[in-house]
Amino acid sequence: MIGLMQDHPLLISSILAHAARHHRGSKIVSVAADGTQLRTDYPTTAARVAQLARALDRLGVRSGQRVATLGWNTLPHLELYYAVSGSGAVLHTVNPRLFPDQISYILNDAQDVALFVDSSLVPTLMALADRLPSSLHTVVVMDGAALPKLQVQALAYEDFIQDEPADFEWPVLDERTASALCYTSGTTGEPKGVLYSHRSTVLHAMAAIQPDVFALRAVDVVMPVVPMFHVNAWGLPYCAPMAGSGLVLPGPRLQPSNLYGLMEAEGVTFSAGVPTIWTGLLQWLQSQEGIRFSHPPRLVVGGTALPVAITEGFQREYGVPILHAWGMTEISPLGSVNTRKAEQSDWSEAAFLAYSRKQGRPQFGVDLRALDAIGKPIPQDELAFGELEVRGHWVASAYYNRTNEDAFTSDGWMRTGDVVTIDALGTIEIVDRAKDVIKSGGEWISSITLENLALGHPDVQLAAVIPAHHPKWDERPLLLVVRKLGSDPSPASILSIYEGRVAKWWIPDGVEFVDSLPLTATGKLWKAEMKKQWKDYTFTA
Ligand code: AMP
């Protein structure tokens, strides 16, 4: 027997329509590269999105075709999120920090028909001018400065939309229709495309706004610092209008002083970013005599592990709580969050702060399991290492344009490539990427644990642990350290941080001081490159 309830497809167009009808008073603030601010609201934005959808139609963009963006977190980018997906085409957000070869690969793989670019990123585009896909017929500059000289038509955004009427008949699509395409950063091999659907996007946003996740309310003001080109800014451009929250889009101006200024001036109550952003903000705050938040915002962090020292610093010194989340491009991105469970309701703040280094537990809608080398679930003893697998409503089932990926199991799970332990409460802690774990005499050592501990040393700015060859143990950990400006610690002083904190055999066999460490386009330690640079480094028995 089938239930007798209405059966409306879950569509992205309905999110903005909801905000425009029911949250007219929530603000949207967008900051341009030169610092000028644009202030608007959901009804006005919905009208412009309708104009943009009409303009895309005029251009000949059809359902299923890919429309690329090379842009920061700005209002036109938000408008594209809704106009492109809402009309049935696929929004392809491209990370401008990738290498030109990767960008060209991605554009060609996606066969985009149009590209929207911020004027500050036109030089990035020009560097690829002779490697653009043949499918691409139009480039639109989002903030309308000088138009690039390309083989294809170039337009200015406002000219492109201004003569169109501000209404559009949003198609009632099958909710499984593709809505957006985002490529993984591809630290090894070519980037791989993850193709989201309307259904996965709406369900992900509904889960993300819930109390134990982002806890968004209509009175919140949300500032996504995480870029709109990286996993849809963790879904926030959908979450905020769904909850009715205001949105502050900081553009490319992500210096700590700008972020703090915007948070204070706009009453930001919630913001999201990677650890580098929040580490930078904390260091800047600590350098400003007597500075405080008039209304401390809540922060969410993910992308790489956040050193507990940062969480503690924000909470204790500034009253700013940080939520630690784990996710992947393939999971839209939310996989787990570390918020208190019933068993932890009476834990002290200090005990939970220390626990916040862990990545947490899945919210409803995703399921996790961790398997050992022979495919058996690992015990929840906080010791055993297993590879994390995930399934759920917003988890990829395949990569775009690829076949036979071994990332997907025959029984419907996706292999994350992350190695975890699980504790008695079912909380996961990422100990490494499967390919970065250090295999010392057949036992595994977590490079991430060693890196996080090293970051707790007062003289360490940045740390990475990679395997180096050892004649007896095969691999042993080598610690690479970027020192804080003006400090000159000895290797022994750095290594002393590990005493009593990890098993003796985990302690790195060597420390090398370096001026910088290679990072990927998404700001993560680029281990593959480091391993290449240090491949001849050998310990003696
Ligand atoms: P991306 O698809 O670029 O977002 O990268 C996803 C990967 O980032 C995951 O597979 C993890 O290895 C890593 N990652 C994401 N969030 C966290 C976190 N909170 N702690 C540690 N690693 C993380």
pLDDT in tens, 330-363: 999 999 999 999 999 999 999 999 999 999 999 9
Number of domains observed in the structure of the chain? 2
Tokens of 58: 């005029």
SS3 content of the chain, % helix, strand, coil (to 5): 30, 25, 45
Q: Is 304 in the pocket of ligand 1 (CB under 6 A)?
A: yes
| Cα 96 from Cα 521, distance rounded (Å) | 8
* 74 assigned to some structural domain: yes
Please, is 128 exposed, middle or buried when counting C-beta atoms within 10 Å of its C-beta (0-12, 13-18, 19+)?
Answer: middle
Please state the atom number of ligand 1 nearest to the C-alpha of residue 330.
2
By residue range, what is the domain housing residue 71? 13-325
* 337 assigned to some structural domain: no
Residue holding tokens 């409306």?
Answer: 8
Mean pLDDT of the 287-304 span: 96
| Cα 325 from Cα 306, distance rounded (Å) | 10
* 3 assigned to some structural domain: no
Q: Which residues are catalytic?
A: 184, 330, 439, 444
Instruction: Grade residue 520 by pLDDT with cuts at 50, 70 and 90.
Output: confident
| Cα 475 from Cα 417, distance rounded (Å) | 20
CA of 304 to the centre of ligand 1 (A): 5
Mean pLDDT of the 308-321 span: 94
CATH number for the domain that contains residue 75: 3.40.50.12780
Shared domain for 180 and 318, answered yes or no, is yes
State which of 292, 325, 358 marks the end of a domain.
325
pLDDT in tens, 12-64: 999 999 999 999 999 999 999 889 999 999 999 999 999 999 999 999 999 99
Q: Is 416 in the pocket of ligand 1 (CB under 6 A)?
A: yes
Please state the atom number of ligand 1 nearest to the C-alpha of residue 333.
4
Shared domain for 134 and 258, answered yes or no, is yes
Kindly report the pTM of this predicted structure: 0.92
State which of 263, 295, 325 marks the end of a domain.
325
Residues 6+ apart with CB under 8 A from 155: 138, 139, 140, 141, 147
Buried b (16+ CB within 10 A) or exposed e, 139-172: bbbbbeeebbebeeebbbbeebbeebeeebebee
Shared domain for 442 and 318, answered yes or no, is no
Q: Is 328 in the pocket of ligand 1 (CB under 6 A)?
A: yes
Q: Is 184 in the pocket of ligand 1 (CB under 6 A)?
A: yes
* 89 assigned to some structural domain: yes
CA of 329 to the centre of ligand 1 (A): 9
Q: Whose CA is closest to 106, among 77, 78, 134, 132?
A: 132
Q: Is 201 in the pocket of ligand 1 (CB under 6 A)?
A: no
For residue 34, the model assigns a pLDDT of: 87
Mean pLDDT of the 8-12 span: 98
SS3 category, 90: strand
**422 in Cβ contact with 380 (< 8 Å):** yes
pLDDT in tens, 138-175: 999 999 778 888 889 999 999 999 999 999 999 999 99
| Mean pLDDT, the chain, whole residue set | 94
Please state the atom number of ligand 1 nearest to the C-alpha of residue 359.
19
* 210 assigned to some structural domain: yes
CATH number for the domain that contains residue 470: 3.30.300.30
* 235 assigned to some structural domain: yes
**395 in Cβ contact with 366 (< 8 Å):** yes
Shared domain for 247 and 101, answered yes or no, is yes
- DSSP string of 373-441? TTSPBPPSSS---EEEEEEETTS-SS-BT----TTB-TTS-EEEEEEEEE-TT--EEEEEETTT-EEET
* 387 assigned to some structural domain: no
CA of 361 to the centre of ligand 1 (A): 14
Instruction: Grade residue 366 by pLDDT with cuts at 50, 70 and 90.
Output: very high
State which of 325, 344, 368 marks the end of a domain.
325
pLDDT in tens, 247-295: 999 999 999 999 999 999 999 999 999 998 999 999 999 999 999 999 9
For residue 523, the model assigns a pLDDT of: 78
| Cα 30 from Cα 76, distance rounded (Å) | 9
CA of 156 to the centre of ligand 1 (A): 36
Looking at the predicted structure, is the pLDDT value of residue 483 above 70? yes
Instruction: Grade residue 103 by pLDDT with cuts at 50, 70 and 90.
Output: very high
* 98 assigned to some structural domain: yes
